Structure 1
């Protein structure tokens, strides 16, 4: 079984952010009469300050950034209907693999948000198991092993692969459990920090999912029905 992460693995997470900023731009314009909130958020994002984008945009528009306002904006951002699309190589990869191999997905983040992304991308039919970890609560986010154990049970002893982007949390658990760990390094991804140690390192890095099967075979992975 090949298991995928979602954000910055199958689509670019920045696209979700920009979609959310557009929704908030309309909300702020409607409720305050101030224009430009979305563009200010995008500028903060481009400067690497996406975690403070709402505060910066409110300050620039001379609007209050009190906890109630921020909470409202965060809720709208997380629950908006996202305007996102699969990366082309991800679409090709899922089409190739889903025809002959069970696939899984493990993704962190608020459950409703992640399920809205899955719905917008139209990918649910490709996966045998979809696991937003926050279904169980944020304490079960990666690197907690619970989601990986669930996928192991579904795989029934078959070799497992995890394809993801964030070396700080994505690979340490599957590696210790004997999975293949592949890092997808897309241009424009959010998480570019190197692994803090060997335990967090992937077995291999790729820039496109078009290279996934060949890379896995080079590591000794045997496609289903072969070997």
Structure 2
């Protein structure tokens, strides 16, 4: 059974970030009458900032970045209805290949399910596993989600995981005998280099247009 990661695998994670920053900017303008917050966030992201975007954007527009404010902004960001779309190569793949397919994705459950809904993935995925539905500690590389996918698959079916982040995505399915495929998209968020051989995928592709040949080989 073919199982996918979500962020930077089926769509570009940066698009969710830009959508969230725009929504946060609208919220700041509605609540405080301050313009430009969302654009400041986007500019900081594009400059490489990841850890303190909201703090620095608050400073730029003159908003006090106390703990409560940052928590409110994070809530708006995580729970907004995202404006995102599947990558073109993913759309082509779903148009020519039939499932069943699965999905394993980390992150807060509501945020990830909002992404799944915005992308229309319910039409393509038979088994959706957001690890954020479980207590902390069950995200990748914990084996629980992979075990669930194995249970859902037809006995004897080859398990394949397609994902982007070698820091956590491949070490567990490789150890369980899955085939692992890394998608290395331009515009990805995470570094594509594996920390060691155990974490490295069996093969690396740049587009789902290459996936048919990998699966056939």
Indicate the TM-score class for this superposition, using the shorter chain for normalisation: over 0.9
How far off is 1:67 after superposition?
0.6
After TM superposition, the structure 1 = structure 2 runs for residues 14-93 of structure 1, keeping only pairs within 5 Å, are 14-93=14-93
Structure 2, gaps ≥5 residues long: none
How far off is 1:136 after superposition?
1.1
How far off is 1:61 after superposition?
1.4
How far off is 1:22 after superposition?
0.6
- 3-state DSSP of counterpart to 1:131: strand
After TM superposition, the structure 1 = structure 2 runs for residues 47-196 of structure 1, keeping only pairs within 5 Å, are 47-98=47-98, 101-155=99-153, 156-196=155-195
How far off is 1:40 after superposition?
0.6
| Counterpart for residue 224 of structure 1 | none
Moved more, 168-177 or 123-132: 123-132
The separation in 2 between residues aligned to 1:84 and 1:182, in whole angstroms, is: 23
The normalised TM-score by structure 1 is: 0.93
The separation in 1 between residues aligned to 2:48 and 2:139, in whole angstroms, is: 23
Structure 1, gaps ≥5 residues long: 219-227
Q: Is the 8 A contact 1:41 1:53 kept in 2?
A: yes
How far off is 1:95 after superposition?
2.4
The separation in 1 between residues aligned to 2:192 and 2:102, in whole angstroms, is: 25
**Moved beyond 6 Å, runs of 4+:** none
| Counterpart for residue 225 of structure 1 | none
| Counterpart for residue 207 of structure 2 | 208
The separation in 2 between residues aligned to 1:189 and 1:83, in whole angstroms, is: 17
The separation in 2 between residues aligned to 1:137 and 1:12, in whole angstroms, is: 26
Q: Is the 8 A contact 2:14 2:189 kept in 1?
A: yes
| Counterpart for residue 11 of structure 2 | 11
How far off is 1:165 after superposition?
0.3
How many aligned residue pairs are there? 216
What's the Cα RMSD here? 1.0
The separation in 2 between residues aligned to 1:216 and 1:48, in whole angstroms, is: 35
Q: Is the 8 A contact 1:44 1:52 kept in 2?
A: no
The separation in 2 between residues aligned to 1:142 and 1:183, in whole angstroms, is: 15
The normalised TM-score by structure 2 is: 0.97
How far off is 1:12 after superposition?
0.3
Q: Is the 8 A contact 2:164 2:192 kept in 1?
A: no
The separation in 2 between residues aligned to 1:150 and 1:157, in whole angstroms, is: 15
- 3-state DSSP of counterpart to 2:19: helix
